[in-house]
Structure 1
Amino acid sequence: MVFKLIDAASTTWRRLKSTNQLPKVIAGVKFIDGIEVIPNTESHAA
């Protein structure tokens, strides 16, 4: 029964795209709408 449940659920699963980004996700890099967010570390004092 468990096999049938997993088999039925797997029909809606999608394959991961951009698997080259997976190490970045594991490292904690932030993404917004699939685009990597590069933090701005520069601060300009007036």
Structure 2
Amino acid sequence: MEKYRLTREWVPLAQFPTGSQYHYGCFLIGRDDLADKRFDRTLSFTMFTE
């Protein structure tokens, strides 16, 4: 359920390497915040490459 909410409400802005072969980082922003250009509301998130 949480994964569905994350993909429904948030969009990725950028992905970046973390120095690990198992993880990468990304910046996410809510769809409404992106539409209103509120880039101060982004989140950083670490994800698995698997």
Output the TM-score relative to the length of structure 2: 0.22
| Structure with more relative contact order (C-alpha pairs < 8 Å, separation 6 or more) | 2
Higher relative helix content = 1
